[in-house]
A and B are shown apart, each in its own frame.
Chain A
């Protein structure tokens, strides 16, 4: 169990926080107390208002009503700077790093104590070395952030907040992009910070996270706080019920028909990293119609590159990939592949998946700009795009003000649902799904997984990339494991076992 709940005035108290966006009430009269050294879990469905509440606390947005006090004194934050100065640091769900700067420069940004003339980063360098040591978060201070993987970027974000001496650390879905080992390391770090008196608020959709390190848990639902209890006075079922008002069962993939002919064939594929090191060596694999090929493994071992090769976006160093028997590199373009039914749920939604300032309907157009339904001889058919978007909002239960709501105004999970809806619509034959359920609440995960299985049964070929081994195991017909510069498999799911795949992931043969 976490550190002791101590007496006296709470370190932090939120009272009656209310925040509306237009007609939508994202936070409805929410109160929350956090004591020194306490680790509070914050749970709730996608769009429940978790990030909004934490954005209020970190000064990013101003509440319509309610107040905040720190050690009994009322405070108000006009900007994140004020909150940082008061010792509140937040690691956002979507990272806020400058991709062209190095790690150390990113950490220096916004540090007011820094001497600029001449610029001296050595102090920050020392601090970074210290915290990353303490916390076990390995980061290369001189790496360019834009070149880091998404999991590594997260580590930088956490390290940055820790470098700024936070008394209260807010982590918005930190484990969504971490490997199990990284999560374990992070939790170690959180525990030692809590022991030293830092309070932590942790947002997560994973109950394991909550039960792993939290001492108290609060659940939001449609903007209201519906549960707030010490962890030892509640259990999983109660939490799930509070979150979704129901129980959720994970789907199982009994297949109904055998797979068809191969759609994507990868032959002798070889890929190098930018620095010349081998990433993928002589990979041979195929994905047939009506089959899910699960690619398991720690991120950064070539999964993204493989996906990009198949999508026609990255030329392999050697080998051949074909789609419907035609070599992709030679005659095909990403556009042609898309017209032939290839769809791609990318791992970096903000970087490669959406137009955040544009309405949902324009984001739908983005994926279907060559579809005659939306593009009649070059004339955009916006009304058709709006209709299609409205039906996706309906079908996928996207919590949004409507087809005109900007993509960026949606909660993270709801953005993901909108992207899924776009990619799965209209003529899909092959799907590259990179971490399709990342950041989603348990009910939505079950829904999406059911969708994938239905697509498979309808004859779609699916390449499922996930770092969630259970997801891979439950959904895949064939499994490929990437790890430590090697690929294991492909093996049929029937001829292997979960522990065996786990061992491959860890790099044991």
Chain B
């Protein structure tokens, strides 16, 4: 407690530095204890993600779903609603996308792709909306509800790719490949960089404008800051809360669709594992500002791509890699929170 107090009393930049230092120490200790060199790990992490063209394009590809899901989380957070279930909404977005495009394979890609994207948004939006309605109507804690719904989504995915959506060959637990028409082609030849990046950037712009310049964004913020004051001014606070989770889920659903259409081409197990959780850190570190979200998404993409290099290059076991990743994310979140802690309270 004392040391936290001490850190909290430092000026903001020092606080962040202190957290970064503590995080680095902890990671080094862990790696040393497991018999790996922290410096070498750091080198590999950077080299694998930023040190070559392949790694770089991989980083951008990874940042796309993080950006979309991060936007969704930011929208809900603006209304002080904590959507920790983006992973489930991503899954339902992907199921909507794959299910829809496989059901209507005859349509041309120009029609089918946008329609399937809409199906994904509806899928994710429904999954978020359930939590939203439960929170708005029955005051059910959205953190618990979204987590539980994520477990349900994981099971639903497992069932879908072993049941109704399983490939025609019925060998692997995965769906058939989606029609070529709905695949997002590569943006730059010779890389895996796909047009999902453009979709993500469009979504960034749209979310920014909606939050900053429209009455919707204002009402969302008002409900977030003081729901009763909003209600007394004629804003339907409960509706806004339900809506915020629905939109949040819709954006996560879009992330799922883009991941399928740009990377995997079909539904399979664990196709975007952990995206929804990392996206929370993405949104928080961007201080819920849509314009910063692609940047923080890139940072976490570097971490995630580099970390998988640790396993390949150094043979660091995956659990340890995940722990390292988690420590970095936590350090960022704490640093972000401490940065905000400067704003004082005032009585009168």
Binding site for B on A (CB under 8 A): 51, 55, 60-61, 92-94, 96, 172, 311, 313, 333-339, 344, 346, 351-358, 362, 365-367, 369-370, 375, 378-380, 408-412, 415
Contact = CB atoms under 8 A, between A and B. Distances in A.
Interface string B221-235: 110011011111111
10 contacts: A94-B348, A333-B236, A335-B234, A353-B229, A356-B346, A357-B225, A362-B218, A369-B234, A378-B214, A412-B348
Q: For the complex, would chain B's binding face be called helix, strand, loop or mixed by DSSP majority? A: helix
A367 B225 contact: no
Contacts of A353: 229, 232
A379 B213 CA distance: 6
A366 B215 contact: no
A94 B229 contact: no
A380 B233 contact: no
A172 B235 contact: no
A409 B219 CA distance: 22
A346 B232 contact: yes
Nearest to A415: B348
Interface in B319-348: 343-344, 346-348
Contact of A409 (B215, B233, B346): B346
Contacts of A409: 346
B218 A365 contact: yes
- Which 3 pairs across A and B sit closest by C-beta, in order of nearness? A335-B234, A412-B348, A92-B347
Given A354-B226, A378-B215, A335 B236 contact: yes
Nearest to B225: A355
Interface in B227-260: 228-236
Given A351-B228, A357-B225, A358-B225, A335 B347 contact: no
Contacts of A61: 344
A37 B233 CA distance: 46
B232 A355 contact: no
Contacts of B348: 51, 92-94, 172, 410-412, 415
A337 B215 contact: no
Contacts of B43: none
A93 B345 CA distance: 13
Contacts of B225: 355-358
Contact of B216 (A365, A366, A370, A378): A378
Contacts of A358: 221, 225
B2 to A, nearest CB: 13
A55 B344 CA distance: 13
Given A313-B232, A366-B229, A366-B233, A60 B215 contact: no
Contacts of A379: 213-215
B235 A369 contact: yes
B234 A338 contact: yes
- Please indicate which of the listed interface residues A333, A353, A355 has the most CB atoms of chain B within 10 Å of its own CB: A355
A337 B233 CA distance: 10
Given A55-B347, A60-B347, A344 B232 contact: yes
Interface string B149-179: 0000000000000000000000000000000
A65 to B, nearest CB: 19
B347 A51 contact: yes
